[in-house]
Amino acid sequence: MEFVSPTKGLMTFEEMFQDMIHYINEQPEEQYKLITGSDSQMRESALFVTAIIIHRVGKGARYYFHKQKHRYMESLRQRIYYETFLSLETASRLSGKLSENGYAAMNVEIHLDVGENGDTKDIIREVVGMVIGSGFDARIKPDSYGASKVADKYTK
């Protein structure tokens, strides 16, 4: 799986992880949030983007994203479930890698592209339950900028 850094270009998962750790180690006394979020856009096929954001709270962030095409999905519910799955898969992989490298205490948030307003309000409980049941913190709109701002930017 390859990720793109807007400043450093194409990276493997391992290179992205090392870059993220280097970013943390530059200022280890600061507070950090690690966020994953996914968004999708329908065209002739479905384009899914998963973003990873390492946020130095109050002092900026660095992010990476991965794009993948999938067969056409007519159902919004199906797309939201798949976005959630992609974010969970990425968060689980990151969490394991963090634990292996002495960063087990770092909390991973999953930002979901659902909110109280709009067509996704009926599935909030389901996807938030999937995330919390998997051991991660969940955020929905308007607090889910990892999905609704960062990942969304690259679905266009």
Identify residue 69 by its one-letter amino acid code.
Answer: K
How do residues 95-104 score in pLDDT, each as one tens digit? 999 999 999 9
For helices 13-26 and 76-100, what crossing angle results, to 10°? 60
Instruction: Return the DSSP state at 72.
Output: -
Per cent of the chain over pLDDT 70 is 100
**Which residues share a beta bridge with 142?**
none
Cα 137 to Cα 132: distance, rounded to the nearest angstrom: 6
**Is the per-residue pLDDT at 155 higher than 90?**
yes
How do residues 76-115 score in pLDDT, each as one tens digit? 999 999 999 999 999 999 999 999 999 999 989 999 999 9
Cα 132 to Cα 149: distance, rounded to the nearest angstrom: 22
pLDDT of residue 135: 96
Identify residue 36 by its one-letter amino acid code.
Answer: T
**Sorting pLDDT into bands at 50, 70 and 90, what band is 127?**
very high
Asked if residues 24 and 137 have their Cβ atoms less than 8 Å apart, the reply is no
Cα 146 to Cα 34: distance, rounded to the nearest angstrom: 10
How do residues 17-74 score in pLDDT, each as one tens digit? 999 999 999 999 999 999 999 999 998 899 999 999 999 999 999 999 999 999 888 8
Asked if residues 148 and 113 have their Cβ atoms less than 8 Å apart, the reply is yes
Contacts of 67 (CB under 8 A, 6+ apart): 4, 47, 48, 49, 154
Give the residue from 142, 126, 46 showing the smallest Cα distance to 84: 126
